[in-house]
């Protein structure tokens, strides 16, 4: 696991070595073990390496035999040994024992098509001296991040935005559409970034930069159109267990200690079960909990740890953990609203004290249908044939949410209120932090003028319209695989773990596991009101019924309790600070209204307040600390 950075300058120009050094220094937390630089002509590549495989000879950049192909790689190629054996048979000679050199030789043989043979999580850069072209690529699911900027016939790239803007030629002007999307979804969705002129390479895409032009292509799709013919659901049990077991075994290859995050939920418990079947030594497991019982899963994690005889470690998150918030804002590099980043950072810190690699259960909900929104939207879709007047009447009677957002009454209100909407609009409403009306009410006239028409609806509408599945559950799963999963969930875990030089591996995000799940009929994933039905049934006997049948709890933070209690004054001090209000994005009275709603508000109200806090902390940690203060973050009329 590493951080990569680089630049292709105009022909005849030479990249500044000091700039490349600064870009790498900004990535040192991702790879503290070594730094490697390649500068030749108008090309510069940099790498900060975390040594996980091939500790002795695996430092980067790595080349092929004659040095005509140069590679830097962030991530792991899980099938590198099989690929290496094939390449050796084809006459390639290797100087290292690691996975990065496999990419160099595979590119030499297949060119840009080499990425289709790679099974793993990666963001990589390949400089081809003969063709004078740079290849950038991300893995199929988007486990590893990659930002880039094409400007003035030059291309710059880096694993994190903080590193990219160490290049003074990269713009730092705030992108109003990105801020709008952030408030809508709690993150900045790809391909945009928070800065205008900087983009993210989407998952499963390559970018080839040649002759001062960038060409972007998609090389893989998750296909929901193909469905298995299943006579008896029990026919799927063994294939599901085998796929999870194989994906877990692939992720146990390392020359450093490994462990696992364990929440006590189905997905992380299944990964620990698979790990326990393979190794002879006890699995090291790591869990995090809260003082509020409604948010605490530690008793379930202990149950699983005891069942599999793991070496178990725990940590309880308390409100004082809020001191991490500025560090969190700094590491994400873009506004990121999920308060679960706090326990994610603390869990990563705890885990890194014992191991270098940690497996987790991310991805099970997004492949097998684990969220209430899948059930709710399927029910709403069945009501679509009813008269619009009846649906609008039901929405009008729903009334405002009160108390806990996840209560049965509030879920019913939310479902009723969404009935008149189109399916994609309904789903966007479910995913929204601030809906369209709430955002419009928040914005100042000046910022609304800069924004123009909002792009946030298209973030759901476009993947919805192009989805390959027919059942609405499959459509929602496919949209999540394009949006929520890579833009939100994966980003949260990647940044939190790499802040502590901890490599996170996710067996359930293996693309073969995801393709298997996509091929299962939707009615077996969401069955009536039962979520993840086929996965639960497949894991019976592998995991106890107590774990399989308990309601989903989710990795949430009691942010509503905190903002009503110990942190109320802290949040108000940040958001009502004159410097905050002078940014010009929001009407001060609208910000006060968000804060004033906390004492009696829902969890969703607390999330909105937290999103505003994290936006301001991002401003302070990234924009206000920018090396080039003459470049403004945003210019308001």
Q: Where are the domains of the chain?
A: 2-218, 233-368+481-548, 375-472, 559-623
Q: How long, in residues, is the chain?
A: 637
Domain over 2-218 is classified CATH 3.90.1300.10: no
| Fold entry, domain 233-368+481-548 | Rossmann fold (3.40.50)
Q: What is the mean pLDDT of each run of 10 residues along the chain (637 residues)?
A: 94 96 98 97 98 93 97 98 97 96 97 98 98 98 98 97 96 96 97 97 98 97 95 96 97 96 95 91 94 83 96 90 94 96 95 97 96 89 66 57 55 64 86 94 96 93 95 97 97 98 98 98 95 97 93 79 87 95 96 82 88 97 70 35
Helix-, strand-, coil-residue percentages of the chain, each rounded to 5: 45, 15, 35
Pairing verdict, β 69-77 and 62-63:
antiparallel
This prediction has a pTM of 0.93
CA dist 84 → 76, 100, 101, 599 (Å): 14, 10, 9, 60
Residue 634: its pLDDT value, please? 40
DSSP string, 495-524: HHHHTTT-EEE-GGG-HHHHHHHHHS-HHH
Phi-psi region of 146 (alpha: psi -120 to 50; beta: other; left: phi over 0): beta
Q: Tokens 């950049």 identify what position?
A: 61
Residue 417: its pLDDT value, please? 66
433 SS3 class: coil
Residue 295: its pLDDT value, please? 78
Measuring CA to CA, which residue among 564, 458, 585, 470 is closest to residue 521?
470
- Residues paired with residue 206 on neighbouring β-strands, in sequence order: 137, 217
415 SS3 class: helix
Taking residue 59's Cβ as centre, other Cβ atoms within 10 Å add up to 18
Q: Do domains 2-218 and 233-368+481-548 have the same CATH topology?
A: no
DSSP 185: H
- Buried b / exposed e over 546-577, threshold 16 CB at 10 Å, is ebbeeeeeebbbbbbbbbeeebeebbbebbee
Residue 566: its pLDDT value, please? 83
Q: Are 356 and 626 in contact (CB under 8 A)?
A: no
With a CB cutoff of 8 Å and minimum separation 6, the contacts of 387 are: none
Give CA–CA dist 193/191, Å, rounded: 7
The sign one gets for the Cα dihedral 17, 22, 26, 31 is positive
Q: Tokens 């409100």 identify what position?
A: 319
Q: Are 366 and 485 in contact (CB under 8 A)?
A: yes
Give CA–CA dist 118/140, Å, rounded: 9
């Amino acid at each position: 696991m590493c951080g990569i950075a680089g630049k292709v300058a105009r022909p005849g120009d030479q990249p500044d070595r000091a700039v490349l050094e600064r870009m790498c220094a900004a990535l040192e937390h991702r790879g503290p073990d070594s730094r490697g630089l390649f500068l030749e002509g108008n090309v510069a590549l940099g790498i900060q390496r975390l040594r996980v495989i091939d500790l002795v000879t695996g430092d980067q950049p790595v080349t092929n035999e004659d040095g005509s192909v140069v590679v830097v790689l962030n991530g792991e190629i899980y099938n590198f040994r099989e690929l290496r054996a094939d390449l050796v048979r084809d006459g390639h000679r290797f100087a290292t024992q690691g996975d990065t050199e496999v990419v160099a030789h595979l590119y030499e043989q297949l060119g840009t098509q080499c990425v289709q043979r790679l099974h793993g999580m990666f963001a990589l850069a390949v400089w081809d001296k003969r063709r004078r072209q740079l290849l950038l690529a991300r893995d199929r699911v988007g486990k590893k991040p990659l930002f880039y900027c094409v400007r003035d016939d030059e291309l710059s790239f880096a694993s994190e935005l903080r590193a990219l803007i160490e290049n003074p030629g990269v713009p730092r002007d705030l992108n109003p559409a990105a801020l709008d999307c952030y408030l809508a979804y709690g993150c900045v969705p790809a391909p945009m970034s928070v800065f205008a002129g900087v983009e993210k390479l989407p998952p499963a895409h390559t970018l080839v930069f040649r002759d001062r032009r960038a060409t972007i292509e998609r090389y893989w799709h998750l296909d929901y159109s193909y469905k298995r013919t299943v006579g008896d659901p029990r026919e799927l049990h063994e294939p599901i267990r085998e796929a999870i077991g194989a994906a877990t075994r692939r992720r146990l290859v390392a020359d450093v200690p490994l462990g696992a995050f364990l929440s006590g939920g189905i997905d992380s418990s299944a990964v620990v079960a698979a790990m326990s079947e393979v190794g002879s030594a006890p699995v090291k497991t790591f869990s995090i909990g809260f003082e509020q019982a409604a948010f605490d899963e530690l008793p379930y994690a202990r149950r699983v740890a005891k069942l599999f005889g793991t070496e178990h470690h725990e940590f309880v998150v308390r409100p004082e953990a809020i001191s991490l918030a500025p560090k969190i804002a700094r590491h994400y590099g873009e506004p990121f609203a999920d308060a679960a980043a706090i326990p994610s950072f603390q869990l990563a810190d705890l885990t890194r004290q014992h191991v270098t690699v940690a497996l987790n259960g991310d991805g099970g909900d997004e492949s097998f249908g684990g969220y209430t929104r899948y059930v709710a939207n399927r029910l709403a879709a069945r009501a679509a044939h009813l008269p619009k007047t009846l649906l609008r009447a039901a929405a009008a009677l729903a009334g405002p949410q009160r108390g806990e957002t996840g209560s049965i009454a509030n879920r019913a209100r939310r479902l009723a209120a969404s009935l008149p909407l189109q399916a994609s609009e309904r789903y966007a409403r479910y995913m929204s932090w601030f809906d369209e009306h709430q955002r419009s009410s928040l914005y100042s006239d000046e910022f609304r003028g800069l924004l123009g028409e909002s792009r946030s609806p298209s973030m759901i509408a476009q993947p919805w319209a192009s989805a390959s599945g027919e059942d609405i559950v499959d459509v929602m799963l496919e949209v999540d695989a394009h949006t929520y999963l890579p833009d939100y969930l994966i980003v949260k875990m990647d940044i939190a773990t790499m802040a502590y030089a901890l490599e996170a591996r996710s067996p359930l995000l293996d693309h073969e596991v995801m393709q298997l799940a996509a091929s299962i009929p939707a009615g077996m994933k969401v069955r009536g009101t039962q979520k993840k039905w086929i996965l639960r049934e497949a894991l019976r006997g592998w995991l106890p019924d107590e774990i399989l049948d308990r309601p989903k709890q989710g990795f949430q933070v009691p942010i509503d309790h905190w903002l009503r209690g110990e942190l109320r004054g802290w949040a108000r001090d940040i958001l009502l600070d004159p410097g905050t209000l002078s940014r010009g994005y929001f009407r001060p009275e609208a910000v006060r209204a968000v804060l004033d709603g906390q004492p009696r508000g829902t969890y969703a109200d607390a999330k909105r307040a937290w999103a505003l806090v994290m936006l301001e902390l991002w401003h302070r940690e990234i924009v206000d600390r920018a090396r080039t203060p003459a470049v403004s973050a945003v210019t308001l009329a």
